[in-house]
Amino acid sequence: MIHILKTRLLKGVVTRRIDPKLTRQIESSGSELKSLILKKFGRSLHIREVDTGSCAACESEIISANNPIYDLQRFGINFVASPRHADCLLVTGPVSKNMLVALKKTYETMPGPKFVITCGDCALNGGLFKDSYYVEGAVKDILPVALHIPGCPPSPTAIISSLLAFLRNIS
């Protein structure tokens, strides 16, 4: 016990100070997000992410939204390893021909009720890649999409605020 206290005093505060503006922004969106998720989903919202040919920047930002600064998980949003555990499918990328079957199968595997969110400009309409011979195009032509998060890539705060605005409107 004395050892722990001693180390604690010697080390001082090791947590990082975050920009107060950012903190307020995350906290206010976050607490509203949390209460909405509690009310509308019972307890938490589980998301499965699928990359259909993105450049990995969207993935990087989704991972960033889960880092200790933003920490989406504390507001009740979990990213899960299997579509069978998910309420929501988060799709990035312009849907490469090779990923079409995998995308459909992932969606089919999810138990209902379920919905789809697209993330990043490519997933909206193919973005920069829409004229390619190997791109199927908009995710909304393949699956029913409930929300699009714009950006190339969308920042973690954009992901959080888009989710919040969306959850306010669903019943």
By CB under 8 A, name the binding residues for another protein.
16, 19, 49-64, 67-69, 79, 81-83, 93-94, 96-102, 106, 122, 127-129, 131-135, 152-153, 155
Q: Could you tell me the smallest distance in angstroms from the CB atom of residue 149 to another protein?
A: 14
Strands 115-119 and 45-51: unpaired
- C-alpha 57: how far from chain center: 13
CB contact at 8 A, 88 and 41: no
Residue with Cβ nearer another protein (3 or 39) = 3
Enumerate long-range contacts of 15-22, CB under 8 Å, 24 or more apart. Answer: 18/69, 22/69, 22/157
Residue with smaller CB distance to another protein, 106 or 118 = 106
Cβ at position 134, least distance to another protein in Å: 4
- Residue nearer to another protein on the CB measure, 35 or 98: 98
Q: How far is the CB of 25 from another protein (least distance, A)?
A: 13
Rounded to a whole number of angstroms, the CA Rg of the chain reads: 19
Q: Which residue, 35 or 60, has its beta carbon nearer to another protein?
A: 60
Task: Provide the minimum distance between the beta carbon of 57 and another protein in the complex, in angstroms, as a whole number.
Answer: 3
Shortest Cβ 33–another protein spacing (Å): 19
Q: Which is nearer to another protein, 44 or 64 (CB)?
A: 64
